[in-house]
Amino acid sequence: MGFHMAGHLSAKGYEVYVYNRTKAKSIKWLKTFKGRALDSLNELDVNFDGVFLCLKNDSAIQEVLFKSNLIDCLKINSFIVDHSTTSLALVNEVISHKKLVSKSISFFDAPVSGGESGAINGKLSIMMGGGKKNKIRVRRLVSSYAISVVHIGANGHGQIAKMINQICITGIIQSLAEALSFGRAKQVDMSRVMEAISNGAAQSWQMDNRSISMVKGSFDFGFALDLMIKDLNIVIDEASKERINLEVTDLIKKKYQTLSKLGYGNDDTSALIRLFD
């Protein structure tokens, strides 16, 4: 997703430097967009106005931010926007880091929703946590690839919003998988069924974008179910701290774990319907 998000920034005329731990991806980006690829985050000759992150998990962010010289190359009063889905512990670790504090660097936890198609088309939804400083500046930049940018509240609130988003998504996918499997067993034309009900109360993004591909058994999309397992582990951990029982969410997480063990970890989350086959 970061590939396309950086591309939108470049297309808007911003001076963009890209870095990926897999160098081939940076090279591929340069063949499509205008900018500069960084070979390393340790030997930098640039002072950055801001940094955008879009990484797999907490440890990847710790590696990029704290085990390199990247922060040293950020200007005083600059910003960091993290589009990854992370734990609240990671957010607290970042905002309390002595280098960020000493340089008055603003941090925004700003996870996204909308999948790879949303990134490609510049129609992501962003839920943002952070302070007021640099907020307008950051909102203008992320609007290059987002159709919705909502500042939820203080740092951490963006990640909490993403947790809520994932709870909602998993329930919808489970219900959609059950409904499609029922319709398939009854041998009705599911494309016509979806046409009939998608403009009613049952409508959802998942129904519009994944129902037909689920029936066809096509799961080659952007958000892998292994990543959903990671996200749901974060959600359930936070819920346990509040003594909230997320019964359905926990059940669906275990279903995803079953699929992952069967070798489907890179499938889109809609692959939940495989368990009905």
Residues with catalytic function: 162
Long-range contacts of 208-217 (CB under 8 A, 24+ apart): 209/115, 209/117, 210/173, 210/176, 210/268, 210/270, 211/176, 211/180, 213/270, 214/176, 214/177, 214/180, 214/270, 214/273, 215/180, 215/184, 215/190, 215/191, 217/274
The closest alpha carbon to 161, from 150, 145, 147, belongs to 150
Spatial CB neighbours of 247, under 8 Å, sequence gap ≥ 6: none
Q: And the tokens for 169?
A: 């998504």
> Angle at CA 62, nearest 5°, toward 1 and 6?
25
